[in-house]
Chains A and B, each alone.
Chain A
Amino acid sequence: RKEVEQDPGPFNVPEGATVAFNCTYSNSASQSFFWYRQDCRKEPKLLMSVYSSGNEDGRFTAQLNRASQYISLLIRDSKLSDSATYLCVADLSGYALNFGKGTSLLVTP
């Protein structure tokens, strides 16, 4: 069983829509959590860290539920440029990131 599980999608949403992605992680000892964004045939780039208290960065909101071992990402007012694959990441060791397979998002005009 993979340590980080995500719905692969694809999620097809119109511009301006709100979309939410979820992921679960299996190791309760995981320390840090992130969302990375990966464009087609490009390297992953950090989108945001995820904190227990929840955190927001512009149109993006991340939530962590340690009891349920569940992480979420909410994107409001979707833009065409948000189209990408979103990778959920749990960090157990402090360096060896565990990546989910990613959720594909396509925002259409």
Chain B
Amino acid sequence: GAGVSQSPSNKVTEKGKDVELRCDPISGHTALYWYRQSLGQGLEFLIYFQGNSAPDKSGLPSDRFSAERTGGSVSTLTIQRTQQEDSAVYLCASSPFLGGAGDTQYFGPGTRLTVL
């Protein structure tokens, strides 16, 4: 079946511009996650959505970052006034949320963001 999809696959932007990154989770998955992977760094958790519950935004690095999930499916991560340190691969994942710890997360191919 179809996996997690993300768009765009690559995004080059100028410092100070806003960007929107999109994630389409696997159909039927109720949990959605955003991570980022900077060069030479491990994946860093950003935000988590589960059903209609309030998202856990504890990983967002600054108030320039926000995310929403409309209709319990598609999610958009928005970065305002981008900075060069925002350059990274932004990965989205989804899981079926079977209710236990360790629910398997399936990752999308990521959006490679470059801020000039």
Contact = CB atoms under 8 A, between A and B. Distances in A.
Given A95-B31, A95-B56, A42 B109 contact: yes
Contacts of B107: 43-45
Contacts of A93: 56
B48 interface: yes
B7 interface: no
B102 A49 contact: yes
A9 to B, nearest CB: 13
Interface of B: 31, 33, 35, 40-45, 48, 50, 56, 58-59, 91, 95, 100-110
A85 to B, nearest CB: 10
B43 A99 contact: yes
Interface residues of A, number: 23
B59 A96 contact: yes
Contacts of B91: 43-44
Contacts of A105: none
A21 to B, nearest CB: 14
* Centre residue among A32, A91, A96, A98 by max chain B CB count within 10 A: A96
Contacts of A109: none
Given A46-B104, A96-B45, A99-B42, 16 more contacts: A42-B109, A43-B107, A44-B107, A45-B107, A46-B106, A87-B43, A95-B33, A95-B56, A95-B95, A96-B56, A97-B35, A97-B45, A98-B45, A99-B43, A101-B40, A102-B42
